[in-house]
Amino acid sequence: MKYFILKVDPKKNMLFDPKESIDFNGNTGPFIQYTYARIQSLLGRLKPQDMISFPMQTKSLNMNSCRRSVRSSGCYTSFRESLKQSGKTYDPSSVANYVYELVKEYNQFYQETPVLKEDDKAKIMTRLMISAFTGLSSGKQ
């Protein structure tokens, strides 16, 4: 419910719809929470030996190509920029909408790119890094 209220620009009027506020589709808190839970589930599937070899495998990754693979809509802007804008304008909706755009883009990435169903370990690790980055940016701030 808090998210449903925070996502609206404070200068605009809104009509609160309890049913819409708990929908799992669209710009709602449950949609964002579900995506965060999905990411944590993916990361929870890592085995201890994967965690040990993770830093060695990621050293060889080209992080620019990793970022480009999920930036098709440009929503992966800096959380810091969004937060600064929100503080400057006293408008929490800019942060809420940043998180929604981030989660929406991640869900499209998740639908189009199998994260764990891949033979190449480096690709799996890249996709897990994208997932972890999104989880950090959309989850517990």
Mean pLDDT of the 18-26 span: 70
Q: Which residue has the higher pLDDT, 10 or 55?
A: 10
Contacts of 72 (CB under 8 A, 6+ apart): 105, 108
Number of domains, the chain: 1
What pLDDT score was predicted for residue 36? Answer: 93
What pLDDT score was predicted for residue 72? Answer: 44
107-114 CB contacts, 8 Å cutoff, 24+ apart: 107/35, 108/72, 109/69, 109/70, 110/38, 113/69
What pLDDT score was predicted for residue 41? Answer: 93
The DSSP secondary structure of the chain, one letter per residue, reads: -HHHHHTS-TTS-----HHHHT-SSSSSHHHHHHHHHHHHHHHHT--HHHHHHHHHHHHTS-HHHHHHTT-TTS----HHHHHHHHHHHT-THHHHHHHHHHHHHHHHHHHHS-SS--S-HHHHHHHHHHHHHHHHHHS--
Contact 135, 102 (CB under 8 A): no
What pLDDT score was predicted for residue 74? Answer: 47
What pLDDT score was predicted for residue 40? Answer: 93
Instruction: Choose the weakest-confidence range: 38-42, 112-116, 133-137.
Output: 133-137
Domain containing 70 equals: 2-138
Q: Average model confidence (pLDDT) for the chain? A: 75
Q: Which residue has the higher pLDDT, 132 or 47?
A: 132
pLDDT band at 115 (very low <50, low <70, confident <90, very high): confident
| Per-residue model confidence as pLDDT tens digits over 41-99 | 998 887 766 666 655 455 445 445 445 554 544 445 577 788 888 889 888 888 888 88
What pLDDT score was predicted for residue 35? Answer: 92
Tell the residue number behind the tokens 């304008």, with chain if given: 89
Q: What is the CATH number of the domain that holds 95?
A: 1.10.730.10
Tell the residue number behind the tokens 């993770």, with chain if given: 54
Q: Which residue has the higher pLDDT, 49 or 25?
A: 25
